[in-house]
Amino acid sequence: MNPHASALAENILAESATGADGTWWFWWSWAERIAPADDLGEAADRVTRVLAATGEYSS
């Protein structure tokens, strides 16, 4: 949740992907992968970009 824009909120799921390797991923509520669960930096960056208010995030 973005504390500056409460409408910008999302549920994130961590779950094993289907397949032989059993890699865990962070997923959006709309069933799209965010990043592998062992790459917290990438996951945090993507979530931050999606939940940022216009002009709030710059990379």
Q: Write the pLDDT tens digit of every residue in 45-55.
A: 998 888 786 66
Query: Mean pLDDT score of the chain, rounded to an integer?
Result: 79
The answer, yes or no, to whether residue 42 has pLDDT greater than 80, is yes
pTM over 0.75: no
State residue 48's pLDDT score: 87
The answer, yes or no, to whether residue 59 has pLDDT greater than 60, is no
Taking only the tens place, the pLDDT of each residue in 8-24 is 667 888 988 766 677 89
> Chain-centre distance of CA 9, in angstroms?
11
Alpha-carbon Rg of the chain, whole angstroms? 13
Distance set, CA 9 to CA 3, 19, 20, 24, 55 (Å): 9, 30, 33, 22, 17
